[in-house]
Chain A
Amino acid sequence: MNDQQLADRHFARRSRQVSRRSFNAGILAPVVGAALLPLGCRRSIRSGSASEPLNLLAWSEYVPPAVIDGFTKETGIKVSYATYSSNEEMLSKLLAGGTKYDLIQPSEYTVEALVRQSKLAPLNFDRIPNLANIAPDMLHLPYDPEQKYSVPYMSGTVGIVVNTHKVAKPVRGYRGVFRPEHRGRIVVVDDPREMVSWAMNTLGLNINEVTPQALERVKPVLANWIPLIQAFNSDSPKTPLIDGDVDLGVVFSGDAAICYQQDRKFQYVLPEEGAHRFIDNLCVPTGAPHQATAEQFINYILRPDVSRLISDKFPYTNPNLAARKLLTADQLANPASYPPTAGKLETFRDIGAMSSEVDKMVTDLRVKYGR
């Protein structure tokens, strides 16, 4: 395998997840960058017209180029695609001022947070008739109960990948993963909120009731788990699995699906204790200069033939039922993309300032018990 393929694989953001990476090898770069954000360029943006480009702020490697090119071809409207690697980075770019974005791609709990701060514009669903293609159980979810602000883009779960050639004993949940005999053979996504949710599910707590008391109970569980973990990786948690450096992973279903495509020895398991189901959405921020175009783009994306292109490239769970009909049997049979049994799944809710506590606790624990 050459470097380019490698790099592609690592950067292909099939995950919708939080990333801590920007590969500037220095501490000052991000610091200076952040410090200069208020000075960021101000592009004058006039009222929307067909000749002006649509400003899309989306996860890197999440919208296939074919989809964007198709839109331009059909409408003549160019799409300028700015990317981010985490919900937090997106918030940063969105709230900094500067460029006014027309379309963003927040995950469910970030939608909730943005709605709470009145940062999202209500959508005109008259312009989005294709919403009818979306599975009903993907609509009117707690983060947008009236389905006013968001349209589901892709969905997925965070579950367990097992290399069955190395791990003979069946693994059914988090308890089966974090066992002393698996020390040094586990990869997990690098996300404090996720890790806390696994511990809370294991303890039988509601993953969205993150309180100081709950965290006190989570602490000893994670203290036991962290020393067993070999790698924390949100960018490409499948890599250590495929490379043979670890045998077990708690990863995004998109990564799991790719592992499965590569070798059937990788099995995807939805933890019996419960798992996080995430939904990435398309939303229009308040003050977007081209809201109508953005809605036109959303409607375009919801077309079965377009949505199918996304599934081909990024094998998450496609909420678009019409598009699913166009998928191959193989794609639909991938247990990571479309789990055969419905597990105990739950979305994240915004926990506000507690997320800082979560991060602090996990960082503390990793320093204390890691290595």
Chain B
Amino acid sequence: MVELIGVNKQFGEFVAVDDVNLQVGSGEFLTLLGPSGCGKTTLLRMISGFETPTRGTVWLDGRDVTALPPYRRDVNQVFQSYALFPHLNVRDNIAFGLRMKRTPKADVQQRVARMVEMVGLSGMENRRPNQLSGGQRQRVALARALVCEPKVLLLDEPLAALDAKLRRAMQVELKRLQQRVGITFVFVTHDQDEALVMSDRIAVINRGHIEQIGPVSEIYHRPATRFVADFLGQANLLPARVVQRETFETELMVADEIRERIPSSRLPDGASTAFLAFRPEKVRLVPDVAKPDDRSACEPNSFITTIAEELFRGATDQLLLRTPKGTELTAVVPNGSATVLAMHRGDRVLCHLHPDDLIVLNAGQ
């Protein structure tokens, strides 16, 4: 549905988007995820037409639209600040796009009414934007874009201005809406939770290029780079060096103190160093009762740590662990689980990392 080929955008010396190729399928919910200033919004604006690529082409539904102005493109955008017309009421805001397309009056009325109902704004048609709450404005912005039945809907951090609770509710609502109308969504956010909840696929953007693109679970479980692992979800990231490489198994020394054995196939040929990443929830903890030194030495993939900090996170507890040599790790355990009850700040615990939960990243990445 949307295709960017070799797209590059420079503002003066600054390269905002660096040679990006991207395809978005019909009916797909794709999220462009990245920190602020990474170029994700510029990428979106090149699809909507507010920016013209310095190089490369933009295709919409099999048509090269690179040179078309925004008002000739069959896409609509939901703006971060909603950009509702303050001088028009809800009904006229929603009808704006249809009127610009010279849709027959009766048709406009009918479609606007349907859209108002769909986003749950019945009875507020005559209100001006400044008489609406943030969530209601959000719905008007959505309705205003969706009523045009665009081929692609572009959303630029549309939930950023909402409070946390409303944001979570809108995430679900937006996802359902997208599934119902079947329109392709391209969604820009810097919020990884949002991306995880809503997307079919995620493209992680960093410094103007796509670090990794793929289905949500793949991005989460198999991040391709340290940046992705770090940015998406929480991750412990530790340097490792190869101690002994055998045919099936390789022994690594992690952070100069933890021995880990992993399948050799996970490590690129000839690599002598790597980074290991693992999610906090993958760290398995057992209260330690034995003497410190002999344990860590004898059991592979296990090591002793001390609980340095305990953070209550609602549904989970987050533990900050410190190894004898001072390496810090984060672990997350369900709140109220028996193990947690037995472990407190200052206690020594035995950590276990299963090789399957370890993500091995090239040292260079």
Q: Do chains A and B touch in the complex (CB under 8 A)?
A: no
Residues of A within 8 A of B (CB): none
